[in-house]
């Protein structure tokens, strides 16, 4: 059984290593995949070809997420692909696109600041806002923000313009859970069992030393 059969998924930064792997996996689970790219169109189209070759469905959609209207432009383009049959709809959003700038505080420029916060913070905010509007219409949806361990700690000098946006994304993720999800029950044995089954599976082979709260977002 394909768990995402018939669902529409948008993966930003799908031309990069992580985004490409996510797009391929969601397609294997049955989703129609929108593979976003910023500048690497060839990379995104290569991912689309792999998905189609595996009997999946995907389209490449480009947009500059550093631009103030980049998120809006991405949704506008997304509404035209697949023959327009998914216009106004979205089931899964994966905010994966990101950029970075390294350097000491005194050497970092305003342009660097604006660019990394535009792509790593503003764009996920704008995309999630529109995604929630679309998901609310159907009563189902998932938003996944791909962060970094640098959103939990700053282990080295010269990382302020990478850590800052990642900390911000982590904070927004927690806050959004209060806006879009109502924690109306305690967790059940089945909820914990599903998490344990995942952690015990080969799919969780690179997860280690993590405390996973299965609480519906109560502890966010």
Q: Which amino acids are annotated catalytic?
A: 148, 162, 166
Contacts of 92 (CB under 8 A, 6+ apart): 4, 7, 8, 9, 10, 26, 31, 141, 142, 143, 144
**Are residues 26 and 92 in contact, defined by beta-carbon separation less than 8 angstroms?**
yes
Measuring CA to CA, how many Å separate 122 from each of 29, 125, 128, 168? 29, 5, 10, 10
- Beginning with the edge strand found earlier in the chain, give each strand of the sheet holding 32-37 in spatial order: 57-62, 32-37, 8-11, 92-95, 142-145
Percent helix, percent strand, percent coil in the chain, to nearest 5: 45, 10, 40
Classified as helix, coil or strand, 145 is strand
């Amino acid at each position: 059984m394909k768990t995402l059969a018939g669902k529409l998924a948008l993966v930003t930064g799908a031309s990069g290593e992580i985004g490409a792997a996510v797009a391929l996996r969601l397609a294997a689970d049955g989703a129609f995949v929108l593979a976003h790219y910023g500048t690497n169109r060839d990379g995104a189209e290569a991912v689309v070809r792999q998905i189609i070759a595996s009997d999946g469905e995907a389209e490449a959609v480009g947009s500059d997420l550093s631009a103030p209207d980049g998120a809006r432009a991405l949704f506008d383009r997304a509404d035209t692909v697949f023959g327009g049959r998914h216009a106004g709809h979205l089931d899964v959003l994966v905010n994966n696109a990101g950029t970075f700038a390294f350097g000491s505080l005194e050497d970092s420029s305003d342009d660097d600041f604006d660019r990394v916060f535009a792509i790593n913070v503003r764009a996920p905010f704008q995309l999630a806002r529109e995604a929630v509007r679309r998901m609310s219409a159907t009563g189902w949806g998932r938003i996944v923000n791909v962060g970094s361990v640098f959103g939990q700690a700053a282990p080295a000098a010269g990382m302020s313009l990478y850590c800052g946006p990642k900390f911000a994304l982590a904070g927004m993720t927690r806050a959004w859970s209060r806006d879009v999800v109502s924690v109306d029950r305690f967790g059940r044995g089945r909820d914990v069992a599903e998490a344990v089954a995942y952690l015990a599976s080969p799919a969780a082979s690179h997860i280690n030393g993590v405390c996973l709260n299965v609480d519906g977002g109560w502890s966010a």
